Amino acid sequence: MADIMDRWGVPVLASSAEAVAALDTAVADLVALAGDPVGGADKAIAADGSLLLARVYAAYLSLYATTTDGVAAARSQLSGLEEPAAERETCHLRAARAWADGDWDLAVRWLEQALLANPRDLLAVKVAQDLNFFLGNRLELRDSVARVLPAWPADDQDWGFVQGMYAFGLEENADYRQAQTLASAALDRNPRDVWSVHALAHVYEMEGRHREGVSFLAGSAPDWSGSYFAVHNWWHKGLYHLELGELDTALALYDDPIRARRSTEWLDVVDAAALLWRLNLFGTDVTGRARQLAGDIDALVTEPVYLFNDWHAVMTFALAGDQARAERVLAANRHPAGKTNARAAERAGLNLLRAFIAFTAGRPAETVDLLRDIRQHANVVGGSHAQRDVIDLTLIAAAARSGDRRLAAALINERAARKPASAPSTRQLAAIGSAIH
């Protein structure tokens, strides 16, 4: 065993340069949201069974599924691995074990320790940002990448990927101009950089530049539609069409490409559920589609792993008219395993689930009370501002349905001040709610 430099100049404890090269490709695939990260991990392990970092990487991929099976697989992959003297491998091993044990904050801390030693550890940069996203930690989405930027000069072949990650962190902290500049620069370097496409899609959403967003995603689709992250970009396009009042187009996107494959990956399921919920708020009957989605995910919803997923499961079951199943998801989250999930449930998650169940059960006043209490710190359940925007939309609809016109008007004013282009669609949403009342 010796230190072999990876393609980014960071030492890897290994006995095979071929295995390190395979791991490099797998990491690059993860960062690019393309290719075959799992197959790459398997190839690296097959070439060098003692390559600890490849085994940790494989565990990370299992944990990304955010399922009980994924956690079990990761624990099995990590079982028996001993901490070496090498700092990089030790930090990653401890991060993966913390993530598998349900302490996602501790996992991030170990990844940050790895980055203090090696700011060009691209695997640590990527996994840290993704975990901060899962945690709803907007500051660290930006600052974790900012701390390593000097190590990634403009002539580096992967400079654009790091810029794209930084752009997303900037967008989540409302620095839209710089976010657009960096994401655009990354795309000039590599039009197939899906994360930079995603960062720019968020900028258009948050600034209410919906028609520009439609044009951008439609025009760039050939560059990213083959990615396993493509469904999420199609979901963003659906949001633009909803804001533009083009409900039929948003519904068509749901049918194809968002649900054409009927994926049971949570990455895809949450987008499907969130789009159906918004379509329902705007008066579209989605019951049949929700029932199909509920059937697709029935086996997926087991013990709580990530409250953000269970929130979207509640949306699905409630829209499908299966209030009993939605209540069971709520009950399962009253005592979730894992420090991170338990904290999210206590601070906001349980009331978030209750609010969405109450809304579809015809108790809008209860929804209003619950969402007003938790919406300012709902970030603890994870996701982006665009994803959590459904909380504000549901609160406006619930206020209108409960007959609280003053609150509905105030919330419309608040939203219009933040994003003026959204005012017409938000007023339409409230009008639909008032008609139901």
CA dihedral sign, ordered 413, 417, 418, 420: positive
Query: Is 405 within a domain?
Result: yes
CB neighbour list of residue 242: distance below 8 Å, 6 or more residues apart:
250, 278, 279, 282, 425
Q: Which domain holds residue 306?
A: 262-437
Question: Which of 109, 133, 157 lies at the terminal end of a domain, its last residue?
Answer: 133
Strand partners, 20: none
Q: Over its length of 437 residues, how does the chain's per-residue pLDDT go in tens digits?
A: 789 999 999 999 999 999 999 999 999 999 999 999 999 999 999 999 999 999 999 999 999 999 999 999 999 999 999 999 999 999 999 999 999 999 999 999 999 999 999 999 999 999 999 999 999 999 999 999 999 999 999 999 999 999 999 999 999 999 999 999 999 999 999 999 999 999 999 999 999 999 999 999 999 999 999 999 999 999 999 999 999 999 999 999 999 999 999 999 999 999 999 999 999 999 999 999 999 999 999 999 999 999 999 999 999 999 999 999 999 999 999 998 889 999 999 999 999 999 999 999 999 999 999 999 999 999 999 999 999 999 999 999 999 999 999 999 999 999 999 999 999 999 999 999 899 87
**What token pair was written down for 266?**
């949570």
The pLDDT of residue 332 is 96
Residue 181 lies in a domain: no
Domain presence at residue 149: no
For residue 174, the 8-state DSSP code is: T
On whether residue 6 sits in a domain, the answer given is: yes
Q: Are 268 and 121 members of one domain?
A: no
Q: Which pLDDT belongs to residue 166?
A: 98
Query: Of the residues 133, 154, 186, which one is the last residue of a structural domain?
Result: 133
* Rounded Cα distance, 168 and 94, in Å: 27
How many Cβ atoms sit within 10 Å of the Cβ of residue 350? Answer: 18
Q: Is 247 among the domain residues? A: no
Q: What is the pTM of this model?
A: 0.97
Among 110, 133, 156, which residue terminates a domain? 133
Supply the angle between the helices 17-32 and 122-134 in degrees, to the nearest 10.
40
User: What is the rounded CA–CA span in Å between residue 42 and residue 57?
Assistant: 10
β-pair partners for 11: 5
What pLDDT score does 337 carry?
Answer: 84
Provide the 3-class DSSP secondary structure of residue 264.
coil
Q: Please report which residue ranges of 282-321 form alpha helices under DSSP H.
A: 287-297, 307-319
Q: Is residue 207 part of a domain?
A: no
DSSP 340-371: HHHHHIIIIIHHHHHHHHHHHTT-HHHHHHHH
The number of domains in the chain is 2
- Give the pLDDT confidence score for residue 180 in this predicted structure: 98
CA 210, 216, 217, 219 torsion-angle sign: positive
Q: DSSP 3-state assignment of 119?
A: coil
Burial 235-257 (b: 16+ CB within 10 A, else e): bbbbbbbbbbebbeebbebbeeb
122, 271: one domain: no
End-to-end CA distance of the chain: give it in Å, rounded: 70
Cα 46 from Cα 54, distance rounded (Å): 10
If one counts every other C-beta atom within 10 angstroms of the C-beta of residue 376, the result is 8
Q: In this structure, is residue 14 part of a structural domain? A: yes
CATH number of 33's domain: 1.25.40
Query: In the prediction, which pLDDT does 91 show?
Result: 98
Is residue 154 situated within a structural domain? no
